[in-house]
Amino acid sequence: MPNPKRRHSKARTRKRRAHDALRAPQTSLCPNCQEPRMSHRACPKCGFYKGREVIHVEQNT
Amino acid sequence: MRHLKAHRKLGRTTEHRISLLRNLATSLINSREERIITTLPKAKELRPFVERVITCARRAQNLEGDDTAAQSVHLRRQAASFFHAGNRQQAVSTGTRSTQGRAPRTAGVAALKRLFDELGERYKDRPGGYTRIIKLGHRVGDNAELAIIELVDNPRERASVESQKKRAKSSGKKTAKASESKAAEGGRRGGRKADRTSEKEETTKARGKGEEKVESGEAKSKGASRSRKTESTAEEKETE
Ligand SMILES: [Zn+2]
């Protein structure tokens, strides 16, 4: 079985992972309810898309 | 190579995939809301599939010449292959056709009927593009992207457009004060109310739960954004 020849330092691990960060998805504010919303999708808060309600979202606040 | 670029296989064998598409088409055409919620890839595969049948129904409306009857039967038979229309298997297995064991009408037969009776008439002058896909974001559980696929020009849509027109007429004085964009939004609100009464609960349970969690977490920030919003909403309430 292949085995590591040398010790793998924390610095090596961390340097490799320096480029692994994930980005938060781009959002814009919903023109209807001002909540963040991904573009080209119905708003998950109010169910609006292109100025009309395309899906009814349960509101319990 | 442009191999495999024409369609998605959806992880199914050919028969399974065709069966799925027939089921989806049947559901879409039979659904009361004229819309179904499914995953985005399925919706995108379904779109050309149903539109092809709807075109059959549309052609049946615009027939010319002296053999229209034969042509319409032909179109209907062509369209039938887009649904699980018949129930021949049952008739064969029971061996009797006219006794009470006669196969019940399937959903596919109902869809075919509705297609040629209603939708052909509705889309008479529409050169394709009978469906609309609206993306909904990701499903809780498997993170699949969901979408609505709906028939355009459906009754719900027409009702909301009509109420918008009415609203624009009735609140003509008030909207003159407000800016144009606000007037448009007021009209939309009217449409939204009409939608609510007719629209049935469509969010799945899992989705609803996810929303709740998010909402309780963001209640504070929402309150904050609301107070920011009050200026603009106050005027809208007046128009309502
Ligand atoms: Zn919104």
CB pairs under 8 A between A and B: 60
Residues B139 and B160 in one domain: no
- Looking only at the bridges linking them, the beta strands covering A36-37 and B131-138 are unpaired
Model pLDDT, residue B165: 82
Evaluate whether B79 touches B21 at the Cβ level (below 8 Å). Answer: no
Q: Please give the pLDDT value at position B96.
A: 55
> Rounded to whole angstroms, what are the CA distances from B107 to B25, B34, B62, B104, B123?
10, 14, 26, 10, 22
B192 → closest Cβ in A40, A41, A52: A52
Report yes or no: A58 at the B interface, CB cutoff 8 Å: yes
For every residue of A1-60, DSSP letters joined together read ----SS---HHHHHHHHTT-PPPPPP-EE-TTT--EE-TTS--TTT-EETTEE-S-----
d(CA B44, CA B49) in angstroms, rounded, equals 9
Q: Is the pLDDT of residue B187 over 70?
A: no
- Please report the pLDDT score of residue B104 as a whole number: 61
B136 shares its domain with B194: no
CATH label of the domain that carries residue B79: 3.90.1030.10
Q: What's the domain count of chain B?
A: 2
CB–CB of A56 and B208 under 8 A? no
Q: A29 phi and psi, to 5 degrees?
A: -80, 135
d(CA A2, CA B234): 71
- Cα–ligand 1 centroid distance for A46 (angstroms): 4
B22: closest CA among B54, B57, B46? B46
Give the residue with greater pLDDT, B164 vs B149: B149
Q: How confident is the model at residue B172 (pLDDT cuts 50, 70, 90)?
A: low
Q: What's the pLDDT at A52?
A: 78
Mean pLDDT of B193-221: 41
Average pLDDT over every residue of B200-223: 41
The domain boundary residue, chosen from B112, B131, B152:
B152
Q: For B58-82, write each residue's pLDDT tens digit.
A: 999 988 888 899 999 999 999 999 9
Give backbone dihedrals phi and psi of B146, rounded to 5 degrees, phi first: -100, 160
Gap from CA of B24 to ligand 1 centroid (Å): 29
* Cβ count within 10 A of residue B90: 13
- Does B55 lie in the same domain as B160? no
B39 and B5 in a common domain: yes
Asked if residue B17 has pLDDT above 80, the reply is yes
Q: What is the average pLDDT score of chain B?
A: 75
DSSP annotation of B11: T
Q: Is residue B1 located within the same domain as residue B112? A: yes
> Looking at the structure, do residues B67 and B9 belong to the same domain, yes or no?
yes
Question: What secondary structure letter does DSSP report for B140?
Answer: T
pLDDT at B150 over 70: yes
Which token pair is B102? 């006669």
CA of B37 to the centre of ligand 1 (A): 19
% of chain B surpassing 90 pLDDT: 50
pLDDT digits (tens, 9 = 90+) for B37-48: 999 999 999 999
Residues B15 and B127 in one domain: yes
- Bigger pLDDT: B8 vs B97: B8
Residues of A in contact with B184 (CB under 8 A): 51
Nearest by CB: B136 against A35, A41, A60: A41
| pLDDT tens-digit readout, B85-138 | 665 555 555 555 555 555 566 888 889 999 999 999 999 999 999 999 999 999
- Residue A53 Cα to ligand 1 middle (Å): 9
pLDDT at residue B213, rounded to an integer: 42
A50 Cα to the center of ligand 1, angstroms? 10
Displacement of CA B186 from its chain's centroid (Å): 25
Strands laid side by side in the B145-151 sheet: B35-39, B145-151, B131-138
- Neighboring chain A residues of B185 at a CB cutoff of 8 Å: 32, 51
Q: Which is nearest to B126 in space by CA: B46, B62, B36?
A: B62
- Whole domain around residue B211: which residue ranges? 154-240
pTM reported for the whole predicted model = 0.68
Instruction: Give the residues of chain A that fall short of pLDDT 70.
Output: 59-61
B11 and B69 housed in the same domain: yes
* C-beta of residue B107 within 8 angstroms of C-beta of residue B22: no
pLDDT for the residue numbered B234: 44
Task: Using the Cα atoms of residue B106, residue B158, residue B153 and residue B40 in order, give the sign of their dihedral.
Answer: negative
User: Do B116 and B34 share a structural domain?
Assistant: yes
Question: Is the Cβ pair A55, B203 closer than 8 Å?
Answer: yes
B109 token code pair: 């037969």
Whether residue B197 sits in one domain with residue B164: yes
Residues B19 and B135 in one domain: yes
Q: CB contact, 8 Å: A39 with chain B?
A: no
> In this structure, are B205 and B231 located in the same domain?
yes
Name the 3-class secondary structure at B85: coil
Closest CA of chain B from A23, distance in Å: 17
Q: Is B176 a residue whose pLDDT tops 90?
A: no
Decide if B196 and A51 are in contact by the 8 Å CB cutoff: no
Is pLDDT at B4 greater than 90 in this prediction?
Answer: yes
- The whole-angstrom distance between A49's CA and the closest CA on chain B is 8
* Conformation bin of residue B143: beta by default, left when phi > 0, alpha when psi is -120 to 50: left
Q: In the prediction, which pLDDT does B26 show?
A: 95
